[in-house]
């Protein structure tokens, strides 16, 4: 319904969205952008996907997915229904909704890198027109939408909340989790004005089963950080507990499983070789960086970050110990790393702690190989370079390595075969619960 308090542009845009006539522009066709594009296409919206990677754009227009858990058939169906991808940002004016799903990594000083957000905003700004809504989904610190997007989007003299509409709605994706789909994960939305919020709610209520409005873009930005910092802090706690338990000769996984039987007041988090994925290793630093502007030092959050970042070195220390007990040196040893994606059963390599383990082992002089059924070739990465392909696991191949380091517990691995043939296994994921002479828990 039209709202008399809103501008003509707002009411026109709301009518387009409600009638499924709005054109949806997705900027960044990656792990976040692709599922969202498919969802809107499935609902009958015209979708334009924007990306700076010409090869990715060509693949998508040919019906080919570059993400393992998104089927080629789903991309092809969307293309057949009218979805198209482009590197031509001048086509921004064709879209009614501009949804930014671009990376927000950290720089080498562990400070927020908003270059992708800013460059994308500057690419679209010359092509803005009245009657568009801009939604930032990238994880960032509170204030980004107002401080970085607002002035750039207002540069053409249009008024936010009257001519164009600005919202922040943090992405929530869990690649490989079959229990949730894009539409079943509740969506938080904050608007710069009440009109912005109304447009944002209408936009996402079309695609998402439950939309959760909050009072501002800052509140929405902090909501996303709290979600992931909560997880990072608890993983840091359990990683520290793992070290304590190991020193005491106690199996931390047995302890966690026992504690998880408590029906209230406890949530089970499990230790590993470190944190991975685009959000959890990065988000705490976005908040700690911004908090300094207010004279605050987030000691608790930073401490958990230090613990989690130290886990790859802890795992490598266990490898050194395992080799020493076999009277071998790490330098010159052949090490097989099992699983290099950041989590089980996906091909997502973003911030994978497995790669950090590989780097440390290589620096120490080990000869490195890896096996990962979801990552057949080591991909191009900003900070890491390995000219490697995934090794096929056979009893003979496994037995030929001085040590096997289990860093990501994919379901496709034959763990019994690996245990029966490996000289030594350093298990950072708690796969091998029963004692075995050739298994060292890390």
**Is position 229 within any domain?**
no
Asked if 155 and 258 sit in the same domain, the reply is: no
Enumerate the β-bridge partners of residue 389: 377
**Is position 3 within any domain?**
no
Lowest average pLDDT, out of 104-118, 205-219, 360-374, goes to 104-118
Asked if 269 and 400 sit in the same domain, the reply is: yes
**Is position 220 within any domain?**
no
Asked if 415 and 274 sit in the same domain, the reply is: yes
Nearest to 164 by CA among 129, 125, 203, 124: 129
% of the chain with per-residue pLDDT over 70: 99
Number of H helices, E strands in the chain: 15, 13
Nearest to 276 by CA among 177, 342, 227, 232: 342
Going by pLDDT thresholds of 50, 70 and 90, the confidence category of residue 3 is: low
Asked if 423 and 308 sit in the same domain, the reply is: yes
Asked if 268 and 132 sit in the same domain, the reply is: no
Point out the catalytic residue in the list 85, 101, 196, 279.
Answer: 279
Of 180, 215, 250, the domain-final residue: 215
Of 215, 250, 269, the domain-final residue: 215
Asked if 107 and 69 sit in the same domain, the reply is: yes
Q: Cα separation of 47 and 39, whole Å?
A: 10
Q: What are phi and psi of 83, to 5 degrees?
A: -65, 135
Name the residue range of residue 28's domain.
Answer: 8-215
> What does DSSP assign to residue 126?
G
Number of Cβ atoms within 10 Å of the Cβ of 317 = 13
Asked if 282 and 408 sit in the same domain, the reply is: yes
DSSP output for 206-262: TT-S-EEEES-HHHHHHHHHHHHHHHHHHHHHHHHHHHHHHHTT--HHHHHHHHTT-
% of the chain with per-residue pLDDT over 90: 89
Average pLDDT rounded to a whole number, residues 271-288: 87
Average pLDDT rounded to a whole number, residues 104-118: 90
**Is position 210 within any domain?**
yes
More confident residue, 5 or 119: 119
> Per 3-state DSSP, what percentage of the chain is helix, strand, and coil (rounded to 5)?
40, 15, 45
Of 181, 215, 249, the domain-final residue: 215
Looking at residue 156, what is its pLDDT? 78
Going by pLDDT thresholds of 50, 70 and 90, the confidence category of residue 325 is: very high
Nearest to 355 by CA among 330, 380, 392: 380
Check if the beta carbon of residue 29 is closer than 8 Å to that of residue 64. Answer: no
Nearest to 128 by CA among 37, 27, 38: 27
Q: Cα separation of 372 and 14, whole Å?
A: 47
> What tens digit of pLDDT does each residue of 51-100 get?
999 999 999 999 999 899 899 999 999 999 999 999 999 999 999 999 99
Going by pLDDT thresholds of 50, 70 and 90, the confidence category of residue 1 is: very low
Provide the domain count of the chain.
Answer: 2
Whether residue 241 has pLDDT greater than 80: yes
> What tens digit of pLDDT does each residue of 394-428 get?
999 999 999 999 999 999 999 999 999 999 999 99
Going by pLDDT thresholds of 50, 70 and 90, the confidence category of residue 214 is: very high
Asked if 24 and 150 sit in the same domain, the reply is: yes
Check if the beta carbon of residue 12 is closer than 8 Å to that of residue 68. Answer: no
**Is position 230 within any domain?**
no
Average pLDDT rounded to a whole number, residues 367-371: 98
Asked if 127 and 85 sit in the same domain, the reply is: yes
Number of Cβ atoms within 10 Å of the Cβ of 392 = 8
Looking at residue 4, what is its pLDDT? 58
Q: Is 196 a catalytic residue?
A: no
Asked if 202 and 324 sit in the same domain, the reply is: no
Q: Cα separation of 132 and 13, whole Å?
A: 7
Do strands 367-371 and 403-406 pair parallel, antiparallel, or not at all (unpaired)?
Answer: unpaired
**Is position 2 within any domain?**
no
Whether residue 110 has pLDDT greater than 90: no
Looking at residue 130, what is its pLDDT? 96
Asked if 348 and 384 sit in the same domain, the reply is: yes
Q: How many angstroms separate the first and last alpha carbons of the chain?
A: 59
Asked if 148 and 276 sit in the same domain, the reply is: no
Q: Cα separation of 428 and 409, whole Å?
A: 9
Q: What is the helix (H) or strand (E) element at residue 94, kind and residue range?
A: none
DSSP output for 19-86: TT-PEEEEE--STTHHHHHHHHHHTT-EEEEE-S-HHHHHHHHTT--SSTTS-HHHHHHHHHTT-EEE
Looking at residue 19, what is its pLDDT? 97
CA dihedral 55, 277, 392, 60 (to 10 degrees): -20
**Is position 224 within any domain?**
no
Q: Cα separation of 437 and 71, whole Å?
A: 42
Whether residue 283 has pLDDT greater than 90: no
Q: What is the CATH number of the domain that holds 308?
A: 3.40.50.720
């Amino acid at each position: 319904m039209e709202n008399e308090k809103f501008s003509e542009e707002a009411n026109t845009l709301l009518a387009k969205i409600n009638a499924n006539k709005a054109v949806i522009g997705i900027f960044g066709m990656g792990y976040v952008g692709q599922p969202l594009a498919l969802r809107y296409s499935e609902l009958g919206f015209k979708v334009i996907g924007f990306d700076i990677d010409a090869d990715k754009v060509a693949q998508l227009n040919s019906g080919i997915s570059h993400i393992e858990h998104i089927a080629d058939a789903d991309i092809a169906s969307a293309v057949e229904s009218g979805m198209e991808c482009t590197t031509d940002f001048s086509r921004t004016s064709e879209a009614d909704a501009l949804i930014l799903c671009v990376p927000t990594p950290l720089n080498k000083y562990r400070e927020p890198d908003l270059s992708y957000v800013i460059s994308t905003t500057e690419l679209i700004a010359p092509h803005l027109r009245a009657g568009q809504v801009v939604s930032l989904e990238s994880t960032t610190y509170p204030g980004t939408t107002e401080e970085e997007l607002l002035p750039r989007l207002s540069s053409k003299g249009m008024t936010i909340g009257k001519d164009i509409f600005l919202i922040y709605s943090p992405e929530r994706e869990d690649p490989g989790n079959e229990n949730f789909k894009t539409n079943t994960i509740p969506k938080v939305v904050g608007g710069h004005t009440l009109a912005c919020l109304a447009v944002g709610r209408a936009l996402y209520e079309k695609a998402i089963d439950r939309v959760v409005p909050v009072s501002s873009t800052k509140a929405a930005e902090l909501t996303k950080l709290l979600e992931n910092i909560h997880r990072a802090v608890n993983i840091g706690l359990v990683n520290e507990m793992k070290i304590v338990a190991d020193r005491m000769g106690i199996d931390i996984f047995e302890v966690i499983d026992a504690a998880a039987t408590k029906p209230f007041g406890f949530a089970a988090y499990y230790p590993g070789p470190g944190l991975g994925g685009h959000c959890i290793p990065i988000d705490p630093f976005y908040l700690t960086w911004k908090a300094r502007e207010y004279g605050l030092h987030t000691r608790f959050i930073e401490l958990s970050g230090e613990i989690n970042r130290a886990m790859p070195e802890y795992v490598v220390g266990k490898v050194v110990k395992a080799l020493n007990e076999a009277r071998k040196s790490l330098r010159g040893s052949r090490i097989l790393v099992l699983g290099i994606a950041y989590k089980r059963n996906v091909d997502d390599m973003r911030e994978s702690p497995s790669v950090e383990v590989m780097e440390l082992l290589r620096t120490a002089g080990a000869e490195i190989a890896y096996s990962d059924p979801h990552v057949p070739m080591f991909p191009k990465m900003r900070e890491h370079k390995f000219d490697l392909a995934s090794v096929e696991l056979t009893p003979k191949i496994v037995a030929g390595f001085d040590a096997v380091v289990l860093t990501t517990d994919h379901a496709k691995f034959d763990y019994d075969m690996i245990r029966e043939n490996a000289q030594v296994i350093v298990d950072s994921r708690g796969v091998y619960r029963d004692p075995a002479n050739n298994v060292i828990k890390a």
